[in-house]
Amino acid sequence: MPARPLSARRVPTALMAGLALLALPALAQTPPAQTLPKTTAATTWTPDNGNGTFTNPLFNDEFSDPDIIRVGDDYYMTGTTMHTMPALPVLHSKDLVNWRLLGYALDRLQMGPEYRLEGGRDAYGAGIWAPALRYHNGTFYIFSNINGYGIQVFTATNPAGPWMHKSLDSKIHDLSVLFDDDGKIYAVYSYDEVRLVELKPDLSGVVEGSERVIIPAGNAMGEGHHFYKIKGKYYIISANYAPVGRMQAARSDSPFGPYETVTISARETMGTQFGWRTQGVGRNLPAPGDKISVSPPPPGGNAFGADPLHQGGLVELPNGDWWGFSMMDVKSMGRTTFLSPVTWQDGWPYFGLPGNLGRSPRTWLKPATGATVAPTPTYQRNDDFSGPKPQAIWQWNHVPDDRKWSLSERRGYLRLHSLPAPHFLLARNSLTQRVIGPESTATTTLDAKGLKDGDLAGLGLLNIPYYWLGVVRDGQAYRLRFYDQLTNKTIEAPLPGPRVQLRVSGNYDTELSQFSYSTDGKTFTPIGGDVRTAYQLRTFQGVRYALFAFNEKGMTGGQADFDDFRVDEPLADRSQNIPAGKVVTIRNFANDQPMWANPHGMLHFAANGSKEAAGPGVRFRVHDRGQGRVALEAMDGSGFLTVVGLGLSSDVRLMKTETPDSLFQWQDMLRKQFMLMSLRTHRYLGLDVRTGEPYAADWPGADPDRKDGTVLVWEEVK
């Protein structure tokens, strides 16, 4: 983008205030050397609560189209990586909750020039997606279709690699593979109508004439199938997004049908709303380099869209328990993975617990795998670039030019050599990792003294719309530049020298982020105001942090040196999110009125400003009963909240003596929001704010806007 005079740009007051700081001598502005903290369970999201329970999602960053298998006592997972390299992560777990990244099945996807961002072409939204992970006769297999290039098969005897890669002469998408007991290998695929083909035993291609429709259109099936043989029957688990996200299952005595179908999971959003969407960036349109637009979420706040749990499958534990896995759209953060207990009923694997089938708990007991595993982060997010290669969480945006980046040319720095690009989305060698929700801040230190004329380098949010903050070299001068694609806004300011710290902070619940910078490593000056993040199907990924360098004048330029990269997560430590032992008031998020121990012996609510709302009946002591389970005792002496009968309205009683029906599983929803699941009904405490009824324990789960009466907010009584 051509530069404009500073006077022609919108420069915020905070930036003007920071110019006095920038006027100091460059030597005094060098940020001090840092020792980057390691990623630990207290500093990054881990689903394991450390008390025998886990809280969804498994990853609070994008991990879409998951597939999980068990081999002996070990569990393995892979998922979609689209156009990013390396591709096809292979994760390992002993308990289905704590996962470790073993590596990737593919280092570089050497297809056409679009995968190298050559000639103005790109592979956004293409590449590796919806892989099928299987194990058969000592070999691990990953199957995936690549748009325009057909089925790819990756094989290994060790899941940590090395993996061998070959192509099959067949183009079918979102396939799932079943190695049947008779030696046949089947693949199912397609949307609405489900098709089956037989693969050749040597996986050289499809058996000619084997393709057939096994489930005709009009049976509510979707795509992203997962194909299993369980106790002699054939099951296909299917994702559907039309008209809203849900999970289907099909069952037959034969792989060829006929199949009967049912819904096994529906309406489960975990209290997450549909997010902002980018407009006008269809799958086949060029990657936009300037202004675009986004659309707000649907009015009312409870439209499902594709958000509810969808696209996943099943895994059996050695003890015979079954668990389900699936993904959910989580606004601009992307799609990520959730774990659900499975209850078999009438021969169908329903996601959920008895009494509440089709809905999944946000927090539940860890799977009984027999393994004892402490809360362990999946990824090391921080990087001081002192190793032989970047931390394993990093992925390149498309296939990099490996001659144009280095960790050895300047020890302790990531060096990116500038290559020509018309805009950020087409810049080669952008090193990326996924943003992590619900809130996170990324900071990097950039030494830009090696930049040449026309070069720019910095820290960006890679998505559509995209945003970045970096350093521009124009002649002998260094300038700070912020760019906002949504509004096509550029802000610039002079820099006293080439070294600067760049920061971006994001709230991926509100979908707003903010950039800032520092020249002394202590004081950060905001720039650009709030920027709106959104999801879209052009990149088909959530927002990513990106370290980048490119030349906007069409030349091969100099180099940018990144000294470090750090991610901070303010909500990662959830150890105090259950106020165990404390006396609290509990308000309903829907009407903001406190829960109240009604003198008639039932749980009701007190009107704000009333004498009841100021009395002891709205105060409850939270008793810790282990495994994330609590009993609530009213401080007016009336007793413990206890569920009776079917948990209907007024069935949440105050009992003098605590019983097993007084136990609730605490469902942490962060920021002091939570739900209480009755262990008697496996449903949630809630009320209908329209009727004035007392509380019940028969609510299936939260609406996306959390205003249905099941979401509560606690506050400690001092």
Q: Which residues are catalytic?
A: 65, 223
The single residue listed with the structure tokens 């099909």 is 250
Do residues 618 and 633 touch, judged by C-beta distance below 8 A?
no
What is the C-alpha separation between 269 and 446, in angstroms, rounded?
40
Do residues 425 and 466 touch, judged by C-beta distance below 8 A?
yes
Rg (CA), the chain: 27
The single residue listed with the structure tokens 């946000």 is 362
What is the C-alpha separation between 628 and 651, in angstroms, rounded?
23
What is the C-alpha separation between 401 and 427, in angstroms, rounded?
11
Q: Which residues pair with 568 in a beta bridge?
A: 441
Beta strands 139-146 and 132-136, pairing class: antiparallel
CA dihedral 702, 708, 711, 715 (to 10 degrees): 170
What is the C-alpha separation between 155 and 161, in angstroms, rounded?
9
Strands lying side by side in the sheet with 499-507? 405-406, 414-417, 559-568, 439-447, 499-507, 512-518, 525-532
| C-alpha distances in Å from residue 504, one per residue of 29, 203, 332, 484, 571 | 20, 46, 15, 13, 16
Do residues 247 and 238 touch, judged by C-beta distance below 8 A?
yes
123 by Cβ neighbours in 10 Å (0-12 / 13-18 / 19+) ranks as: buried
Do residues 429 and 405 touch, judged by C-beta distance below 8 A?
yes
Encoded amino acid at 514, one letter: Q
What is the C-alpha separation between 667 and 594, in angstroms, rounded?
18
Do residues 481 and 467 touch, judged by C-beta distance below 8 A?
no
Smallest Cα–Cα separation from 664: which of 694, 703, 705, 622? 622
For residue 695, how many other CB atoms are within 10 A of its CB?
27
> Cα-flanking dihedrals φ and ψ of residue 333, to 5°?
-65, -30
**DSSP states of 451-501 as a string?**
--TTEEEEEEEESSS-EEEEEEEETTEEEEEEEETTTTEEEEEE-SSSEEE
Three-class secondary structure of residue 598 per DSSP:
coil
User: ∠ CA 217-220-222 to the nearest 5 degrees?
Assistant: 80
Question: 327-354: string of b/e by CB count within 10 Å (b at 16+)?
Answer: bbbbbbbbbbbbbbbbbeeeebbbbbbe
Smallest Cα–Cα separation from 328: which of 705, 56, 19? 56
Do residues 87 and 63 touch, judged by C-beta distance below 8 A?
no
